[in-house]
Amino acid sequence: MISQVFSAQLADLVSRETGRVLGGAMLGDQPGASLPEWPVQRIVAPLLGATGPVIHETWLAGQAVLTGNSEGIAWCRAGQLLYGVIDLDEADFTATPGCSALQAASQEAYRRIFRLLDAKNLPHLWRVWNYLAAINRETDGLERYRQFNIGRQDAFLEFRRGATGNVPAACAIGLTGGPLSIAFMAGDQPAVAVENPRQVSAYDYPADYGPRSPTFSRAALVYPPGQEILFISGTASIVGHLTVHPGDVAGQCREALANVAAVLGEANRLARSTPFTLPELSYRVYVRHAADFPLVRETLAGLIGGTAEIVYVQADICRHDLLLEIEALASHALGNC
Ligand code: 3EB
């Protein structure tokens, strides 16, 4: 059974759980903070409303783990499940005509992930966390998010994985600087992909949003032994394929949460355990403008209830007119596994 813990410090975890930590993320505007032994994705971005400068979100495996480093990926395996982190510096890639350094780095990162997963016989990608610098900046006539989408999709196709249907849950978020950073969870069993009836599937977005569609599903249900985990992808104020409520942050909050609720409803049709509910999810909310944070917090508290675990981060969203994005997860025990 894997579980996620949130902490301001890691000392306790290191002494208590040595050898049973899968990996995690360190969020906060602290580029110099020291990191533990296990794979950690560094998300260098200001926390909003937090009590300390950093938050560690850490996956505990509840069993002995095996760690390694291959293909430049720090990985950790617990049974038939693997968590990994890869950081690539775009400066190590050269742009060629028709392919920016970011596109090349994105394709290479996914190639390496797929090679590692194939070698470990854990081919099913469940959930991917993508971060890149200046996601909305246009270079060579194309927004960087769109460059990333080309590289990502090319790697899926190159490895014959298909770029529609059974693709992983994901987020793609912009930071002020730093490498292309991709964390992922994968396993020997396929995820059940979930779509949102209120939205066009991202892999079917029309070409207005870039030459290649993004390769992700709206949510994934995954099944470590004895467990059902729901990963809800980054979810924004998009209906159909259009951004709605441009410039209206409270409106975007309500619409994004309506989308989370719609994905939840769809997931519950497919789920094997008891229904997932909004207040039980743990959330990560990316807010583009720090000044919007009080209104975002107040609006979401009114909709989700005041007790849910919500980590707020100031970061860029992949469309310039989106002011926030919400991702979430929850885990249920499954009987007789
Ligand atoms: C959207 O719905 C908002 O490219 O991996 C959300 C989640 C978004 C994941 C990705 C992008 C991604 O299109 C953006």
Say whether 4 sits in a helix, a strand or coil: strand
Is the pTM higher than 0.85? The answer reads yes
Least confident of 49-58, 169-178, 242-251: 49-58
The sign of the torsion formed by the CA atoms of 229, 189, 325, 290 equals: positive
Secondary structure in 3-state letters for 235-280: ECCEEECEECCCCCHHHHHHHHHHHHHHHHHHHHHHCCCCCCCHHH
**What Rg do the C-alpha atoms of the chain give, in angstroms?**
19
- In the structure encoding, which two tokens stand for residue 45, read together? 């971005």
Atom of ligand 1 lying closest to residue 202 CA: 13
As a whole number, the mean pLDDT across the chain is 95
pLDDT range class, residue 336, cuts 50, 70, 90: low
- All residues at 6 or more sequence positions from 275 whose CB lies less than 8 Å from its CB, including other chains: 268
- In the structure encoding, which two tokens stand for residue 44, read together? 């260098």
- In the structure encoding, which two tokens stand for residue 230, read together? 């729901």
Q: What is the pLDDT of residue 198?
A: 98
- Residue whose CA lies nearest to ligand 1 atom number 14: 318
CA of 318 to the centre of ligand 1 (A): 7
Average pLDDT over residues 57-84: 95
Question: Which residue in this structure is represented by tokens 């912009």?
Answer: 174
Render pLDDT for 127-143 as a digit per residue (tens, 0 to 9). 999 999 999 999 989 99
Q: What is the pLDDT of residue 337?
A: 47
Ligand 1 site, CB within 6 A:
130, 170-172, 202, 214, 216, 233-234, 236, 238, 318
What are the backbone dihedrals phi and psi of residue 222, each rounded to the nearest 5 degrees, phi first?
Answer: -130, 155
CA of 134 to the centre of ligand 1 (A): 15
Query: What is the maximal distance between C-alpha atoms in the chain?
Result: 55
Q: Is the pLDDT of residue 22 over 60?
A: yes
Task: Give percent of the chain above pLDDT 70.
Answer: 99
Atom of ligand 1 lying closest to residue 209 CA: 13
CA of 175 to the centre of ligand 1 (A): 15
Q: What is the pLDDT of residue 64?
A: 92
Say whether 64 sits in a helix, a strand or coil: coil
Atom of ligand 1 lying closest to residue 171 CA: 9
Taking the C-alpha atoms of residue 28 and residue 224, their distance in angstroms, rounded to an integer, is 29
Residue 305: which region, alpha, beta or left (left: phi > 0; alpha: psi -120 to 50)? left
Render pLDDT for 270-318 as a digit per residue (tens, 0 to 9). 999 999 999 999 999 999 999 999 999 999 999 998 789 999 999 999 9
Tell me how long the chain is: 337
List residues with catalytic annotation.
325
Render pLDDT for 290-302 as a digit per residue (tens, 0 to 9). 999 999 999 999 9
- Residue whose CA lies nearest to ligand 1 atom number 13: 202
135, 208, 233: which to mutate for ligand 1, most atoms within 8 A of CB? 233
Question: What is the CATH superfamily name and number for domain 2-333?
Answer: RutC-like (3.30.1330.40)
Q: What is the pLDDT of residue 196?
A: 98
CB 224 within 8 A of CB 1: yes
Taking the C-alpha atoms of residue 177 and residue 23, their distance in angstroms, rounded to an integer, is 23
Q: Of 111, 41, 124, give the one whose Cα is nearest residue 80.
A: 124
Q: What is the pLDDT of residue 39?
A: 96
What are the backbone dihedrals phi and psi of residue 252, each rounded to the nearest 5 degrees, phi first?
Answer: -65, -35
With both helix axes pointing from N to C terminus, report the angle between 144-158 and 101-120 in degrees, rounded to the nearest 10: 30
Render pLDDT for 105-127 as a digit per residue (tens, 0 to 9). 999 999 999 999 999 999 999 99
Taking the C-alpha atoms of residue 279 and residue 261, their distance in angstroms, rounded to an integer, is 11
CA of 16 to the centre of ligand 1 (A): 36
CA of 233 to the centre of ligand 1 (A): 7
Which ranges of the chain would DSSP assign to H, the alpha helix?
Answer: 11-17, 101-120, 144-158, 249-270, 293-304
Taking the C-alpha atoms of residue 68 and residue 98, their distance in angstroms, rounded to an integer, is 35
Taking the C-alpha atoms of residue 259 and residue 271, their distance in angstroms, rounded to an integer, is 18
Q: What is the pLDDT of residue 293?
A: 98
Average pLDDT over residues 4-32: 86
Question: Which residues, listed in sequence order, are joined to residue 58 by a DSSP beta bridge?
Answer: 5, 24
CA of 323 to the centre of ligand 1 (A): 13
Average pLDDT over residues 144-154: 98
153 or 7, higher pLDDT: 153
Average pLDDT over residues 60-67: 93
Taking the C-alpha atoms of residue 125 and residue 140, their distance in angstroms, rounded to an integer, is 31
